[in-house]
């Protein structure tokens, strides 16, 4: 939407809670009820996958899952535990016509990112792609909207189409870990190898569930020569909520 028109709408319509749509005091502010239900992910956490720990195990400590099978990405960080109002925000961006939510999500993600987004490393933002058929149906790729908001807020470089989805995948909701991994095998392709070679790639998505998508993307990005692959999402499913 054109910025002047958005500014006009902001003047006329009262701001609403990004999760429950109740009227609130200011833009991008949660109502008191929703705010209390948000669970921010903070240290201590697994150095690799970002799963939060109950107590501090020291710098660089890994969770049991990462010790058993090291993920192909260098690190994953998320702002919030998936569920409740965090889930409502994700669904609002995905299925509703509420693209301004990307701004708030990106702000929370930039805070949670830690060193992966440091400017000196020249991070390259790459959104997890949608297949074009789904893009046509939905009108926008939520990961691309968030990545564009992150670029505006952090100044990091954005490569919207560095990664493509070569085929549509069936919905993965309700599938277990192994089934999800099978679901995304061979699905992603690097369309712009020169852009990612030697770079620190920040893979951007709305939610991390089993990590199967992140793993599949990290695999092809590394094969294309990415020096590092980090994953940044608004929310994630935690193993020990
Ligand atoms: Zn609310
Ligand atoms: Zn871990």
Domains of the chain, residue spans: 1-31, 38-236
Q: Is 60 exposed, middle or buried (0-12, 13-18, 19+ CB in 10 A)?
A: exposed
Report the top-level CATH class of 38-236.
alpha beta
pTM of the predicted model over 0.85: yes
Mind listing the pLDDT tens digit for each residue in 132-141? 788 877 888 9
Q: Is 45 left (phi over 0), alpha (psi -120 to 50) or beta?
A: beta
Residue with tokens 């020096």: 227
Q: How far is the CA of 202 from the centre of ligand 2 (A)?
A: 18
Which ligand minimizes its atom distance to the CA of 64?
2
Mind listing the pLDDT tens digit for each residue in 55-85? 998 889 999 999 999 999 999 999 999 999 9
Which ligand minimizes its atom distance to the CA of 211?
2
The distance from CA 47 to its chain's CA centroid, rounded to whole angstroms, is 17
């Amino acid at each position: 939407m054109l910025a002047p028109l958005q500014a006009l709408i902001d003047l006329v319509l009262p701001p609403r809670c990004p999760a429950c749509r109740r009227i609130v005091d200011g833009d991008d502010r949660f109502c008191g009820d929703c705010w209390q239900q948000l669970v921010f992910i903070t240290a201590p956490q697994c150095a690799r996958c970002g799963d939060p720990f109950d107590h501090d195990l020291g710098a660089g400590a890994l969770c049991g899952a990462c010790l058993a099978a090291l993920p192909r990405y260098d690190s994953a960080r998320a702002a919030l535990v998936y569920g409740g109002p965090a889930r409502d925000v994700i669904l609002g961006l995905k299925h509703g016509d509420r693209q301004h939510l990307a701004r708030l999500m990106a702000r929370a993600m930039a805070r949670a990112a830690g060193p992966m987004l440091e400017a000196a490393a020249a991070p390259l933002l790459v959104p997890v792609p949608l297949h074009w058929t789904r893009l046509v149906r939905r009108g926008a790729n939520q990961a691309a909207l968030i990545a564009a908001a992150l670029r505006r807020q952090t100044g990091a470089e954005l490569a919207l189409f560095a990664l493509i989805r070569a085929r549509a995948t069936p919905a993965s909701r309700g599938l277990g870990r192994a089934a999800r991994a099978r679901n995304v095998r061979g699905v992603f392709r690097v369309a712009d190898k020169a852009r990612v070679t030697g770079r620190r790639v920040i893979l951007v998505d709305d939610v991390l569930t089993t990590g199967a998508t992140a793993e599949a993307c990290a695999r092809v990005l590394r094969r294309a020569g990415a020096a590092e692959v980090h994953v940044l999402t608004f929310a994630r499913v935690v193993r020990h909520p």
